[in-house]
Structure 1
Amino acid sequence: MPAAANPRFSVIVPVYGVEGYIRECIESVTTQSYPDFEIIAVDDCSLDGSGAIIDELAARDPRVRPVHRAENGGIGAARNTGVEHARGDYLLFIDGDDSIRPGSLQAMADRLAEAEDPEVLLFDHVRTHVDGTVEPSNSGPYLAGIRDQVIRPADRLELLRIFAVVWNRVYRRDFFTGEGYAFTDGLYEDALMVYTSMAAAQRVAGLEYVVVEYRQRRVGSSMRSSTPRKHFVIFEQYRRVFAYLDGLAGRPGIDEYRSTVFTRMISHFLFTFARDFRIPKGHRRAYLKQASKVYRDLEPAGYTPPPGILGLKFKVLKSGSYTGFEGLKAVNGTREASIRSLGRSKRWGGRKALRAYYAVQRRLPVDDNLAVYSAYWGRTPGCNPLAVHEAAKRVAPGVRGVWVVNQEYAGSLQPGIKRIAPATFGYWKALARAKYLVNNVNFPDAVIKRPGQIHLQTHHGTPLKRMGLDQQFYPAVSRSMDFEKLLERVDRWDWSVSSNQHSTENWERVYPADFRTLNTGYPRNDVYYRATAADVRRIRAELGIAHDKTAILYAPTVRDHQKDAFVSRLDLARFARELGPDFVLLVRAHYFYGSDPELNSLAERGALVDVSRHPSVEELCLAADALVTDYSSIMFDYANLDRPIVTYADDWEAYRTCRGVTFDLLSGEPGESPGVLTTTEDELIEAFRSGAWDGEHAATLRQAFRERFCAWDDGFAAERVARRVFLGEEALRPPVVPVAERRPAPSPRAAEGLGAPRPRAADQDELTAAGSDH
């Protein structure tokens, strides 16, 4: 929908370090029923992918106007840049990690029209926490108190008790610019804007509607990430407020207004002082000294502090007595203590000797040349950790690698793998002393990260299903997960590997912690670009696939309500029979499942090949001419091979309702569906009978799917990870090869010499230009 020349709303979004949230933020506006708006998304030189995301969204919707600043200036400068570009009647400021609820713009437009365009419209908000709880604001009673009215703030001073931020109100643009308002540098800029603009406004209305969902981030917020001294700017910001109010001397009600703002200011000083993560112990005396001076400099004549304990705190702050304030510190308790206590609340079980041994080992020096690897909770070495291990041996040969492998997999270790057994002295010694801990899941809760250690989380799939904190909202998985423990484990991560932008945004949002993202591609997918025709032939021979057969790999994912045993949602015998003699069906049940009698029986009769226990899913993909799956992340990896993918999703509605999904796999849209879509056995069989599984439409969908989800997988992901983590190289190298320039491993037909492989998208133009009739 095109943006109006003079839209009703200019929605200004400062963008910095919000890669995991900015898409949701922008889309919460673009999906509003009220269409008359523009979004000015100001990229403040963000170091992550936020700038690219707003460009992508702008390409889809002309109402999104991306602005990229030449240098970082902070949230105030970004907002000012947005105001400079604004054309709307009203300015709505939204932070890039927040969002607005459906119907918000319509509700605001209706109230503004009813109130005949006031200078400021106040509205409600909620706080959303990482545990899924939603906390209402204190604004409701104050907004109700001015229902259906247009008032002057100086006449309703209780409105100053509403959270002093600019994103819970809209400003009429001619009022905002006419008063010459501009955001200042540093923290606490909202308080300055709120108290000065409310002092000048003559017509203010309220809206009893929850507009903004204010996200309470565990990490990454400016308040938490700023150094202690940056918080001292609060004093300068409030001095600016009172300097502005001094210029309004003589205006009716200004003395009462000034006194109310003074109370709000001292309360704000106390609130900040009570939070150790803002003002830690070494800075508290200096903070209190400055706060006391501001109190005495700006205190209104005849001012009376509030009653009760709050008034006592006012008096102690005015005195500047640090000793007196320490005595009141307990009264100022915050949630920070409970958050910090999470890490101390767990008790490691097991034998006392092992526990004591682990504690002793943690006091000994870290071994800078030791890496501990694990995959899939101690299963056979594989996936991304194995690919990183192999790359590390090449680029950082001085780093020794050992693997945590359970006893049941010990007999099938690859040559050269050094194993340590879980719950042994060697195991706890390695975990205590190794500098690098690499896993595609999490290490046990009892593992304590010590200074000097580096945890690398490689993950093991691209998220179609909801992961991390998103699972709180889906009972099928939330009942069996302790999310507090999950966050403790995530807090140990230093690095998080990502295979594509979609994954990066999800990991940043659902695992809120201080890790850094490696946008490298998945190391385990390197093999899809490095394997040769000989490799493909060898793997097929080992699997017993005749050279003239077309191999179909069927690899469904696990159902959270059905983890005890594999129950195929497909009549495997019928499917294999309907495929006919020219095909061979490979079936891989999810690794959560044990041996299945029916599957074993079919395999013994030669109806299919059971590859559920094959140690390498990558080899199975290389052997297969096509993939049939439902919601398994194998589809994203297999797409690297540019071979047909058929979706068989007979329970899509139930799955996305119970498990949750991140996009609509069955939409049939480019970038969402990887190929032919089927929801019944008959449709699946017909896809192969008709040849649609390998048709042009399927190839077109697959190309868009590869471009979105295989953007960084080019055969060099493991090297990038190893160089960044083990060598400390700042730049990710080698650079990513564009999708169109890559050459995946040859298809089985090409490897067997049964005819030239189907022309890839990158080759089509060349063939057309040459007049080829292939």
Structure 2
Amino acid sequence: MSSSESPARSGNPVLSIIVPVYGVEGYVRQCLESILDTSVAALEVIAVDDSSPDNCGAILDEMAAADSRLRVRHLDRNVGLGQARNIGLDMAAGDYVWFFDSDDHATDGAVRAVLDRLKAARPDVLIVGHERELWDGTRVPNSGGRYFRDPPAPDTFTCAERPSVLRIMMAVWNKVIRREYLLELGPRFSEGYYEDLNVSFPLLMAAERLSLLDRVCYVYRQRRSGGITSSASRRHFDAFDQYERVFAFMDARPGTEPFRGLMFDRVIGHALMILERGDRISPPDRAEFFGRLTDFYRRRRPAGSRVPGGRLKTVKYRLIDRGAYGPYRAAVALVEARRRARTLPQAAVRSARRGGRVGRRLLGRLYYRVQLRMPIEENLVVYAAYWYRGVSCNPAAIYEKAAEIAPHLGGVWVIKPGGPGPVPDGVDHVTPGTLRYWRVMARAKYFVNNVTFPNAVVKRAGQVHVMTQHGTPLKKMGLDQMPFPVGAKGLDFRAQLARADRWDFLVSSNPLSSEAWRRGFPCRYEMLEIGYPRNDRLAVATLDERARLRTRLGVPEGKKAVLYAPTHREYRDGYRPMFDVERFTRELGDQYVLLLRPHYYYPAARNGQHQELVMDVSAHASVEDLCIASDVLLTDYSSIMFDYAVLEDRPIVVLANDWETYRLTRGVNFDVTASPPGVVARTEDELIGAFRTGAPWSDTAAKARDAFRARFCPWDDGHAAQRAVTRVFLGGD
């Protein structure tokens, strides 16, 4: 196996944190930032890129270039979590090692607290507190936290003196281990699932000095989807092999006999949890898994051990011993039926309320239900954009390319009355709520949208949903908005994820987008890293097209057209330009014309005396037209800057006069003031001064734009729509 590795760093670290990385581009940056405590020098972080198929490798290299404490090892093939940990261990130079999962993170000050405790206690193994973080941001305390405090623990102890440590979470990530002790003891991480069991338990049993840090240091992210051990697979059978290794260690290790009963109970409890969770062992494999458990039970049950207390637990143990899977399954089903019976009244109330809502729209919904039983029309595509506002954005670009290279497909747009512009000639469309609308929504094969379809839309087996999005997420989106109550006001995140569960494909404009979408919408879709189809026009725009568009828009000949396109601000009521438009046009003179394009939530404001120098283009159907026709973009934190950067020769000016307020209220994924696409103005005076001096056209601004473009427009080559059509509609790569 070949690999590449960043150079070793000088110095003698006290702590080596080892982070295997695979398929976590949405989380790995937070993980590494949480452990690269700037106040800690005696630290090395070893990230092992286990041939990750996403952008993790690039993220690791970027962060390693910025922090010499981070070393990166790139593997040329995937070896799995256990072997990746072993590789990191062999690279480590610290006195202690701490194994992190790359989608988890440390709490503030955790690394410093761990180092302080290591210095004070000098343990073989330090066990730290942890919490679970659910998909909605809820923190769940460690259920084994009582073993840290009851009874109070001395600074150091052995497992024989405090066997309850074997009941603390069995993972390796809550244990900081003296490296020489681990190497001398000899266990290595195994292949397969639950690869750390045969390391964690022997380390605790054999240690001469154990210590507890009763502080939440580690946050275990319980991902909504994509977690290895929370998905159905026969690999969950690996747990038995891993526990056999633990018992083999005890067979060969004197002094471990007192731990057998406790370990036996841990195995039975863990195996039953795997079996009863319902999402780990597929129904056809459950009887076989139960049989493996019976075999383990009979072979490894300690002589003279008693069945644990509790009637249900006693029944389960006896059925396992007998190998009676049928009666066991009946017992579990009876308990579940009783639980459901207790919640039936509440469920009946909810069902009645839903029935009332359906009744108010009875005709359309009944027709929709009938149509859902009819065959899917394999060549029918439904398109929509901006909540049915018209034909635009990425869906429009895909629609046009499909007509060119997949003419066998028929496209229907959903457009509500009173949209911002007329429907183009020849475009087939339906009005929401009509019978034909419900028919195409029930029977189309493909759905392409840049926002989302209503909750009432049912995703049928065999239908394909494509989410194109409509901008690079400079601001936080999806679940990332939860810590920002101003930006998240009124959002139903559970409903958001339910809608995202319908997506089969998600279009990404650049690596930043991929990283943000994975975090914000952690669902099971294929990421199409192809660039934005709507930007194809910008990538191939010509001077002739620019001239035609300027004439059509009425841009006066010889004037520089400044396209002003700000973003929406949740902390403000309504739309107001972030600068004095009247002053801007007055002081810059008649060589400029300002094209006002507010966020689509608002109409443009046209106040002031110099109306001949201000054009309201808020109703123009295509923002791509405006980009091509203009000479320079003036924006703030709008995603339009990422699109405009595709135009290689056009300056970009960012007015960031409320950056701190926006950052704190909305949340951002990228500091545009630190790595801007051109000139950044912090005040209105700076904005006017920049245009007066020609700063947007300077070499400094051009270099900034080129760097920005290289980073955020790597896939915008004029063929994004073709790639989308080829992959989704034609089944190609």
Q: TM-score, normalised by structure 1?
A: 0.89
Partner of 1:129: 134
Partner of 2:290: 288
Partner of 2:178: 172
CA contact (8 A) 2:232 2:281 kept: no
Q: Does 1:636 find its partner at 2:656? A: no
Partner of 1:221: 227
Superposed displacement of residue 568, structure 1: 2.1
Partner of 2:594: 585
Partner of 2:430: 420
Match of 2:444 among 427, 434, 438: 434
Superposed displacement of residue 686, structure 1: 0.9
Q: Does 1:92 find its partner at 2:107? A: no
SS at match of 1:68: strand
Superposed displacement of residue 468, structure 1: 0.2
Partner of 1:279: 281
Partner of 1:621: 627
One-letter amino acid of the structure 1 residue matched with residue 523 of structure 2: A
Q: Which moved more, 1:69-78 or 1:719-728?
A: 69-78
Superposed displacement of residue 138, structure 1: 2.8
Q: Does 1:378 find its partner at 2:388? A: yes
SS at match of 1:39: strand
In the TM superposition, 1:182-581 aligns within 5 A as 182-227=188-233, 229-249=234-254, 251=255, 254-308=256-310, 309-329=312-332, 349=358, 351-409=361-419, 412-562=422-572, 565-581=574-590
SS at match of 2:625: helix
Match of 2:111 among 87, 99, 105: 105
1:399-421 deviation per Cα after TM superposition (whole angstroms, max 9, x unaligned): 11110011113961123311111
One-letter amino acid of the structure 2 residue matched with residue 570 of structure 1: F
Match of 1:63 among 53, 56, 69: 69
Superposed displacement of residue 154, structure 1: 2.1
Superposed displacement of residue 645, structure 1: 1.1
Partner of 1:748: none
One-letter amino acid of the structure 1 residue matched with residue 658 of structure 2: D
CA contact (8 A) 1:147 1:207 kept: no
Partner of 1:17: 23
SS at match of 2:696: helix
Partner of 1:29: 35
Determine the C-alpha separation between the residues in 1 that align with 2:335 and 2:484: 36
Match of 1:718 among 706, 718, 721: 721
Determine the C-alpha separation between the residues in 1 that align with 2:498 and 2:435: 24
Q: Which moved more, 1:205-214 or 1:435-444?
A: 205-214
CA contact (8 A) 2:384 2:414 kept: yes
Partner of 2:732: 729
Partner of 1:749: none
CA contact (8 A) 1:32 1:102 kept: no
One-letter amino acid of the structure 2 residue matched with residue 273 of structure 1: L
CA contact (8 A) 1:19 1:505 kept: yes
Determine the C-alpha separation between the residues in 2 that align with 1:441 and 1:307: 54
CA distance change for structure 1 residues 604 and 699 in 2, over 3 Å: closer, same or farther?
closer
CA contact (8 A) 1:33 1:102 kept: no
Determine the C-alpha separation between the residues in 2 that align with 1:410 and 1:352: 30
Determine the C-alpha separation between the residues in 1 that align with 2:137 and 2:421: 44
Superposed displacement of residue 724, structure 1: 0.9
Superposed displacement of residue 464, structure 1: 1.2
Q: Does 1:674 find its partner at 2:677? A: yes
Superposed displacement of residue 310, structure 1: 2.9
Determine the C-alpha separation between the residues in 2 that align with 1:206 and 1:640: 54
One-letter amino acid of the structure 2 residue matched with residue 121 of structure 1: L
CA contact (8 A) 1:274 1:332 kept: no
1:482-515 deviation per Cα after TM superposition (whole angstroms, max 9, x unaligned): 1110010010011110111001000001101001
Superposed displacement of residue 58, structure 1: 2.1
Q: Which ranges of structure 2 fall in alignment gaps of 5 or more residues? A: 1-6
CA contact (8 A) 1:119 1:202 kept: yes
SS at match of 1:397: coil
Partner of 1:764: none
One-letter amino acid of the structure 2 residue matched with residue 660 of structure 1: G
Partner of 2:47: 41
One-letter amino acid of the structure 2 residue matched with residue 218 of structure 1: R
Determine the C-alpha separation between the residues in 1 that align with 2:139 and 2:609: 52
Superposed displacement of residue 100, structure 1: 1.3
CA distance change for structure 1 residues 371 and 647 in 2, over 3 Å: closer, same or farther?
same
Determine the C-alpha separation between the residues in 2 that align with 1:35 and 1:443: 50
CA contact (8 A) 1:645 1:693 kept: yes
One-letter amino acid of the structure 1 residue matched with residue 170 of structure 2: A
Q: Which moved more, 1:427-436 or 1:406-415?
A: 406-415
CA distance change for structure 1 residues 679 and 507 in 2, over 3 Å: closer, same or farther?
same
Superposed displacement of residue 330, structure 1: 5.2
CA distance change for structure 1 residues 4 and 263 in 2, over 3 Å: closer, same or farther?
farther
Determine the C-alpha separation between the residues in 2 that align with 1:328 and 1:485: 34
Partner of 2:664: 657
1:707-759 deviation per Cα after TM superposition (whole angstroms, max 9, x unaligned): 111111111111111111111112xxxxxxxxxxxxxxxxxxxxxxxxxxxxx
One-letter amino acid of the structure 2 residue matched with residue 574 of structure 1: R
SS at match of 1:166: coil
Q: Which moved more, 1:607-616 or 1:38-47?
A: 38-47
1:375-434 deviation per Cα after TM superposition (whole angstroms, max 9, x unaligned): 000012110110111111222221111100111139611233111111111111111111
SS at match of 1:154: coil
Determine the C-alpha separation between the residues in 1 that align with 2:620 and 2:478: 28
Determine the C-alpha separation between the residues in 2 that align with 1:677 and 1:600: 25
SS at match of 1:310: helix
Determine the C-alpha separation between the residues in 2 that align with 1:529 and 1:399: 26
Superposed displacement of residue 603, structure 1: 9.0
How many pairs are equivalent? 713
Determine the C-alpha separation between the residues in 2 that align with 1:552 and 1:572: 12
Q: Does 1:141 find its partner at 2:146? A: yes
Superposed displacement of residue 314, structure 1: 2.4
CA distance change for structure 1 residues 332 and 295 in 2, over 3 Å: closer, same or farther?
farther
CA distance change for structure 1 residues 96 and 411 in 2, over 3 Å: closer, same or farther?
closer
One-letter amino acid of the structure 1 residue matched with residue 701 of structure 2: A
One-letter amino acid of the structure 1 residue matched with residue 637 of structure 2: Y
One-letter amino acid of the structure 2 residue matched with residue 153 of structure 1: C
Q: Which ranges of structure 1 fall in alignment gaps of 5 or more residues? A: 731-774
SS at match of 1:408: coil
One-letter amino acid of the structure 2 residue matched with residue 526 of structure 1: D
SS at match of 1:456: strand
1:412-467 deviation per Cα after TM superposition (whole angstroms, max 9, x unaligned): 11233111111111111111111110000010100010111111000001111111
One-letter amino acid of the structure 1 residue matched with residue 242 of structure 2: Q
CA contact (8 A) 1:2 1:63 kept: no
Determine the C-alpha separation between the residues in 1 that align with 2:627 and 2:489: 34
Determine the C-alpha separation between the residues in 1 that align with 2:585 and 2:647: 23
Superposed displacement of residue 627, structure 1: 0.9
SS at match of 1:88: coil
CA distance change for structure 1 residues 169 and 333 in 2, over 3 Å: closer, same or farther?
farther
1:342-382 deviation per Cα after TM superposition (whole angstroms, max 9, x unaligned): x9997774522211211121122211111100000001211
SS at match of 2:191: coil
SS at match of 1:151: coil
1:577-627 deviation per Cα after TM superposition (whole angstroms, max 9, x unaligned): 11211111111111111x45xx24559942410001110111111111111
Q: Percent identity?
A: 45
One-letter amino acid of the structure 2 residue matched with residue 588 of structure 1: R
SS at match of 2:44: strand
Determine the C-alpha separation between the residues in 1 that align with 2:216 and 2:699: 48
Determine the C-alpha separation between the residues in 2 that align with 1:379 and 1:269: 53
One-letter amino acid of the structure 2 residue matched with residue 692 of structure 1: A
Superposed displacement of residue 282, structure 1: 2.2
1:31-71 deviation per Cα after TM superposition (whole angstroms, max 9, x unaligned): 34212122221122222222222222222223222222232
CA contact (8 A) 2:261 2:305 kept: yes
1:517-559 deviation per Cα after TM superposition (whole angstroms, max 9, x unaligned): 0110111111112222111001111121122111111111112
